[in-house]
Amino acid sequence: MKKIKKENKAISKTIIAVIIVVIIVIAIGGIYGYLVLRNHPTTTTYSSSFTSSSLTTTTSGISNLNTSNPQVLMSLVGLSSPPSTPVTITVWDSYSVSENQAFNQTLAQFEQEFPWIHVQVTYGVGVGTSQFETAAKAGQAPIVYRDTSDAGGALFAAGLVLNLSQYLPPSIASLYLPTAIKDWTLNGSLYGLPDNINYIVMFYNKHFVPYPPNTTDQLVQIAEYVNKTYHVWGIAYGAGDEYGYRFAAWFAGFGGHIFSTSSDKIIPALNSTAMINALNFWYNLTYNLKINYLAPSTGPSGAEGELFIANQTAIIFDGPWDLNAYLQALGPNLGAAPLPVISQTGLRASPFIGSTGFLISSPQASGATPLQIKAALIFVLYFTSYQADLRLWEVAHDIPANIQAYNEALTQLREDILQPAYLNQIMEGILEQAQYGQQFPNIPQMAYYWNSFHQYASEFFANKINASQAAQGMEQAFIQALIQNGLLSTFLPLPLLLPLQYLLIALFMLTFLIPLELSKNIRKWCIRVE
Amino acid sequence: MNKQKLYSFFYIIPIVSITLFLFIFPLVYSLYISFTNLSELHFIHYNYVGLVNYIIIFKYGYFLELLKNTLIWTVGSLVTMMSLGFGLALLLNQSDLKGKSVFYAILILPWAFPGFISLLIWQGLWVDPYGMMNRLILPTLHLPKVNSLTSTTDAWIELIVTNDWLSFPYFMTVFYSALQSIPKELYDIADLDGAGILTKFVKITLPSLKRTIAFVFITSFVFTWNNFYPIYILTGGGPGISTETFIVYAYQEAFSYSNFALGAAWSMISTIFVIVLAIIVIKYTHILDSFT
Amino acid sequence: MAIRRYKILKILRLLFSYIILIIMSFFAIFPLYYVFMTSFSNAPNLISLSISDLIPKHIYFTAYKYLISTNLYGGSFPLWVRNSLILASSTAIISVLLALITGYALSRLDIPAKKTLATFIYIVTFFPYTATAVPLYLLFAKFHLLNYIGLILAYTPGTSIFAAFIAKLSIDAIPSSYEEIAMIDGLSRFGAFLRIVMRLALPVVALTAILGFTGAYLDFALAYSFLLPNVKEWTATIGLYYMAGLLNPASAPQYNIFAAGAVLMGIPLMALFIVSQRMMTKAYSNLAGVKQ
């Protein structure tokens, strides 16, 4: 008898201890919050007047700034001569292995021309990860960071990244492609400098595909032809497994827009006939005509890429960052062309034209001194200058964002300078797509597009819902996510409760532990009866 | 006597202090964060907002769906893994079986090999129709194909079978080790009394292993409940969110949306659930009593 | 007659057991076969598109050569593997010490509020790992412990708490008279603990060491956030992810390198498991009890 009592006491003591601790925590939290709210009545709300306007168009033509020249750079940041003490800056490098070859060459030159700047590079950083935010919270963020324009936009909105418009003259913007600069501008402020632009194109296998399709009707025809004649997949596009980065091109081609402004608020516009038509188009190709393989993974090592490399599919949609693998596998049979025109609407399928580039962390996140900030500015200007960008193009085939380098790249292609010879035509096809893209939204709202799209698109392609339900669902999920994250004001005021009510709620939540106590007592009573 | 007690307290200080720093601090920190609005927008200056995140979870969140999924994942994985491990342990426990250590060494490899590559390989194996599971193995066993992109049931099958592969060696080890310690005399006596195989199993084996089963069940229940990687890598939450569990959703909230406060709130809810369920099982089976 | 029937039944039983064991062994091994085949290929693919791909036509050592010879600004894969081994071994040793000290205290010593403390510690570990990652980073950043020492501290409680309970059971089974005799002979309590208890509870020591080692050896998330800035201090997991191109989604992941790295990392791990096979299969024997 005594033993049973002792054994049960351990658990019940723990439960009581936990309950008491929880009540204390909630009470303290409630009282504190009540006091805080009484003294600071308003919480900072996020103003959603974000229109990504481009910078002023006073400069026509390329600026005459040579951002590879040390004197020019130093005067841009306000230094007349190199400082007496050397300064160290930390850089997080998110380049791939091939891009790093170019980066290291530029780094060697940089260190020669600026001996008073020591650069501490961290390799192996991923883009769009939260590692930067975590480090920023601890004050350990690097001074210079390289990321995509949309991830950078979110960081800028969070106040973690410097507003470069306050440190550099507006003529800087004219050094880069307008699309690239637009990607890096939020609400009129420039928050980063681009070093490449990236987007998807249509890769095709010349062995199967006689000519690149210009319209979707031609696409379907060619895919059917390939299917019938060679018994391989016409297209491999896993629309059901993606997060909307590539699908946005088709959505735009059918006339859709991701966002629209209504009474000065930015709201999603996914629920439109454009989305329904786009979804149905790909559904048709996958399940009715059976010319598209719904692949579970993209990229050269994913299902799509492997099929393409193994000559099991004629067309895939991927970006030039994966070019090398396809080049090695297909050689002269590889072709690249812009995405086709949608026959129904006459609009082109316009992929996102995104950009990767350098950002400078705000001093709160990195603990940088003003001199380090100046050194960082010099760094990002130098590494996005003509020579640095051209190197990236030549070594890694990144599409340059620096206008001079971009023009030089076009010249090289026209003169068939690239080796091997067939690469020139491929790169021309890739660069042609740059004229027919849509801007990659970099507003904070964009972060909530991906999961909303994925959830309902995957259900649609799994035959669980129809297209209009999918479009509605996506929009709903998107709106909900925006509300939950404070980017869209809700009409239903979420109540903030007083401490007494907290206690009551806590007790209520904990009362489902009471049946446990009761059942234990009942058992004890039963044993006693025996 | 007091000096003895004080002296013995020193033995327990290391584990208590480490638990304090490494579990209690994150727990309290997450609790605190879940009452604020720490997210990308309110990163540097964030405010206390009370129970707003929890209200969001219950009002707008997919709470019931996620709860259902987490239960399917945890219970489904555990039941299959434990049965598999138990069965194999029984087979290995036969005294006249030859080559035990060879079999054991082979069967323990899934547990020993780095899981990050195994998950990727399994992801490739399940691709329909090219992966080996759908191409060769399932047709040979006359089973229908499994395509996790188009069917939720298929997605669960894929997840649970892969999880079984990853963890059955652990259970096999535990049960084998426990079976080995049952004295042989008990079986011999039962044989003399004329007991059949089934009676021996039910009357001797099972009762002796009751504590093992219960302890391992609870620990693995919690581990599977909080196990994030298989689902994230294999289906990413499945078609829609039909295979998404609490922990995967919390991770997405925190790291894809950078809404750390909401992610913390989801983690708290998930932990409360698992603690309550675990306490129910602990009290019912009285296993922790021998530990304290 | 009866003996013959008994013999037939025995042969059937053994045959059945062997068949099941062989099938399960095949199930356990074939994904690992894939890993090996991928590591010896020169194309980064995870899905073999035809059955003939199962038996490779050429064996390429490019992945292994690349791993072993590439130098990344002072770091290289062999260096990182060495780092991993050091880190994992230290974690294993400290986990063992912590688990056994706590288990010993729980078993032998009379500590105030022992039961509540033990239950509380056990339940606190139910908090998910993904939710503790960020608070831990912030905590360790404050104390400037974003290095190996911090990592070891972060890894130990996971295995130690669980192992402490198993250790407690195992030590319960060792009669306290052994230590009392030793203490009469002049050993301190701690000396008795080291010499006698550790040796007799060896299976639990082995299990804890292996679990601690594996956890630290294979962990990516925490190591990545702690050690990212110092290339020379990277662990093998971080280095492998980097060299296989998995850290930057903009570059094509090379799964043959990933597989090769996993094989290189997995071989010592598998060896460790197989060597301590016998001890691990005894670690849980105290969990079973014949009491009903």
Contact assignment for C35 to B29 by CB distance below 8 Å: no
Check if the beta carbon of residue B172 is closer than 8 Å to that of residue B110.
no
pLDDT at residue A13 above 80?
A: no
pLDDT in tens, A76-120: 888 888 888 899 999 999 888 788 889 999 999 999 999 999 999
A81-90 burial, b if ≥16 CB within 10 A, otherwise e? Answer: eeeeeebebb
Picking from B290, B291, B59, C123, the residue whose alpha carbon sits closest to that of residue A19 is: C123
Closest B-chain CA to C171: B291
Query: How far does C12 lie from chain A, in Å, by closest CA?
Result: 45
Element (H, E) at C72: strand C71-72
Picking from A253, A258, A254, the residue whose alpha carbon sits closest to that of residue A271 is: A258
Query: Which of B11, B183, B288 has its CB closest to that of C101?
Result: B11
DSSP A420: S
Average pLDDT for residues A265-291, to the nearest whole number? 92
Contact assignment for A159 to B44 by CB distance below 8 Å: yes
- Residue A513: the pLDDT is 59
Average pLDDT for residues B34-60, to the nearest whole number? 83
Contact assignment for A32 to B48 by CB distance below 8 Å: yes
- CB neighbour list of residue B207: distance below 8 Å, 6 or more residues apart: C292
Contact assignment for A13 to C146 by CB distance below 8 Å: no
How far is C-alpha C182 from the chain's CA centre?
Answer: 34
Picking from A242, A201, A218, the residue whose alpha carbon sits closest to that of residue A291 is: A218
Picking from A227, A243, A245, the residue whose alpha carbon sits closest to that of residue A235 is: A227
Percentage with pLDDT > 70 across chain B: 96
Separation CA A286–CA B121 (nearest Å):
26
- Residue A408: the pLDDT is 92
Neighbour count for residue A37 (Cβ, 10 Å): 17
Contact assignment for A140 to C138 by CB distance below 8 Å: no
Average pLDDT for residues B31-43, to the nearest whole number? 85
Contact assignment for B26 to C123 by CB distance below 8 Å: no
Q: Looking at A123-127, A291-295, A307-311, A351-355, which range is the least confident one?
A: A123-127
- Residue A372: the pLDDT is 92
**Contacts C35 to B, Cβ<8 Å:** 113, 117-118, 121
Picking from C48, C30, C27, the residue whose alpha carbon sits closest to that of residue C255 is: C48
* SS3 of B40-89: CCCCCCCCECCCHHHHHHHHHCCHHHHHHHHHHHHHHHHHHHHHHHHHHH
Separation CA A408–CA B61 (nearest Å):
52
Percentage with pLDDT > 70 across chain C: 92
Structure tokens of B291?
């530990």
- Residue B198: the pLDDT is 79
Separation CA B176–CA B235 (nearest Å):
33
pLDDT at residue A422 above 70?
A: yes
SS3 category, A318: strand
Check if the beta carbon of residue B88 is closer than 8 Å to that of residue C18.
no
Average pLDDT for residues A443-463, to the nearest whole number? 91
As assigned by CATH, the class of the A70-198+354-414 domain is alpha beta
Closest A-chain CA to C146: A140
- Residue A522: the pLDDT is 65
Separation CA B113–CA C238 (nearest Å):
17
pLDDT at residue A282 above 80?
A: yes
pLDDT at residue A257 above 50?
A: yes
DSSP A487: S
Neighbours of chain A (3+ CB pairs under 8 A): B, C
**Contacts A135 to C, Cβ<8 Å:** 141, 225
Could you give the angle at which helices C77-108 and C62-69 cross, rounded to 10 degrees? 80
pLDDT in tens, A366-407: 989 999 999 999 999 999 999 999 999 998 888 999 999 999
DSSP A44: P
Q: Looking at A263-267, A451-455, B265-269, C193-197, which range is the least confident one?
A: C193-197
**Contacts C46 to B, Cβ<8 Å:** 120-121, 123-124
pLDDT at residue A441 above 80?
A: yes
Strand bridging mode A313-318 / A201-205: antiparallel
Q: What is the CATH number of domain A201-350+443-484?
A: 3.40.190.10
Residue type, A102: A
Q: Looking at A42-56, C38-52, C210-224, which range is the least confident one?
A: A42-56
Closest B-chain CA to A455: B240
- Residue A51: the pLDDT is 32
**Contacts A238 to B, Cβ<8 Å:** 149
**Contacts C116 to A, Cβ<8 Å:** 10, 13-14, 17
Average pLDDT for residues A274-294, to the nearest whole number? 92
- Residue A140: the pLDDT is 87
Structure tokens of B166?
């990853």
- Residue A29: the pLDDT is 55
pLDDT in tens, C237-265: 988 888 887 777 666 778 888 889 999 99
Contact assignment for C105 to B12 by CB distance below 8 Å: yes
C51 touches chain A (CB under 8 A): no
Closest A-chain CA to C248: A126
Query: Which of C20, C127, C292 has its CB closest to that of B207?
Result: C292
Average pLDDT, rounded, for chain B: 86
pTM of the model as a whole: 0.85
B95 touches chain C (CB under 8 A): no
pLDDT at residue B178 above 70?
A: yes
pLDDT at residue A281 above 80?
A: yes
Contact assignment for B240 to A455 by CB distance below 8 Å: yes
Picking from B45, B130, B273, the residue whose alpha carbon sits closest to that of residue A305 is: B130
CATH numbers and ranges of domains, chain B: 54-291 (1.10.3720.10)
Average pLDDT for residues A207-215, to the nearest whole number? 93
SS3 category, A233: strand
Strand bridging mode A233-236 / A292-293: parallel
